[in-house]
Amino acid sequence: MDLFNQLVDPTTGTPDQWPYQLFEQCTFKDLNLSKAIVASANFINCRFEDCDLSMIVLEGTKLDDVVFVRCKLTSVNFGLCSAFGFHIDFQECQLDYTSFSNRNLKKTRFVDCSMREARFISCDLSGAAFKNCNLELALFSANTLAQVDFSSSYNLELDPDANKLKKTKFSLHSLPGLLTKYDIVVK
């Protein structure tokens, strides 16, 4: 049952089956899909609003121009998604314990998100923006961080030697988080 340009919310009911389905230009609102198996589905130009997607299984799922607004995405492994056409953005989302590995996240926008203990490993985040995000204990390793804007985010700890930085923007308040490995005190 493929869906095109549909609103899916508690009043319309949710699809009987998610895996292997195509959802194009759809809006998903106020849904609890926590722990749902959405493997190998295709979401193209879709929007999720006020949904609980904690621990959702996205293995092989295509996320092409998908926006998440005020969603709970705790413990989601985006590294298992299809890499083809992968492009997502987040606004006011809870992304704690979320994992991104080997993903092209160029120009991805993370706005007003909680990203406590999120993991970014071997990602290309060139031109991405982390606007007013809580990055407490977030891990950044082996990433390309060219022109990434961290300037308004907080609780950032990042090893500049473990990532490729070029014209990456940080605030003065982030300086201690960039020097953590040297065990020095900045006042």
pLDDT tens-digit profile, the chain (187 residues) = 689 999 999 999 888 889 999 999 999 999 999 999 999 999 999 999 999 999 999 999 999 999 999 999 999 999 999 999 999 999 999 999 999 999 999 999 999 999 999 999 999 999 999 999 999 999 999 999 999 999 999 999 999 999 999 999 988 777 667 767 767 666 6
Q: Which domains does the chain have, with CATH numbers?
A: 1-68 (no CATH), 95-187 (2.160.20.80)
Conformation bin of residue 147: beta by default, left when phi > 0, alpha when psi is -120 to 50 = left
Cβ-count burial of 185 within 10 angstroms (0-12 exposed, 13-18 middle, 19+ buried)? exposed
> Using an 8 Å Cβ cutoff, are 98 and 123 in contact?
no
pTM: 0.93
